[in-house]
Amino acid sequence: MEREYIRIKKPAPLPFDTRQLKTLDDEFWKNWVFYYLLDFYKNYDSVELKSKIEEEKKKQYPRTEREIAKFVRLKLKANREFGFNFSVKGEETNDEDVEGNYDITIHNTYWKNQDFYFECKNLDGSKDLVDKYVCYNTYKKDANNENIFDGGVLRYFNGKYAQNLTFGGMIGFIIDGDSNNIKTAILKKLSDKFLISPEGDLISTKDKSIEENPFTFDSLHLRLNTEFTIHHLLFDLLPKSS
């Protein structure tokens, strides 16, 4: 099921010479990762995905977010061209509190041994899921009896995610609600200061950051006295009922 409105452009070819591969910068590799993610979004089978989600919902403790991330990873692995250049892995434990427990990790051996990490969150137009995408109060207490905060974006700034990198990714799985309203709500939430401010403070945003697609944007944050970029992709995955 091809979605013509999704703008996708194949990046410059990867060289065959391994010496050249080792000299390529982050932007080159990121463009290839974005290409494959957009290719997935443009061509995935929504009927197949809907069936998997409905099956997951029947479980006593459904984890649709995890099932969708797994679906994305399997479709990337099934892409022979992707597999020739990259590998992808995801959750290896059921413990969501484990440090470095990324939903999607994309790797190429010659990319200066760096990985592109993506945290994935469901979105349905509710404030609750927007908060979980960015930052929310778990109402659990730490050793000092202070509230513990968590959230997809927050994890890049509280010492959990991508500590040796200057970038990371967020993929929002929109399973209900209006995508434009959800995007606006996320941008508004990102402007709120985290409890660990100035760590994670928003510096600026760049709309339509990936091939001018309106469901993408970048957010630039302060981290460890430098700048950290989060690349956001909001995938409107399920057909809405008429």
pLDDT tens, residue by residue, 73-95: 999 999 999 999 999 998 755 44
Q: Is 155 helix (H, G, I), strand (E, B) or coil?
A: helix
Could you give the CA distance from residue 226 to residue 199 in angstroms, rounded to a whole number?
10
Annotate 100-134 with DSSP letters as a single string: T--SEEEE-TTTTT-EEEEEEEEE-S-HHHHHHHH
Q: What is the pTM of this model?
A: 0.93
Q: Which two tokens stand for residue 70?
A: 């797994």
pLDDT tens, residue by residue, 15-45: 999 999 999 999 999 999 999 999 999 999 9
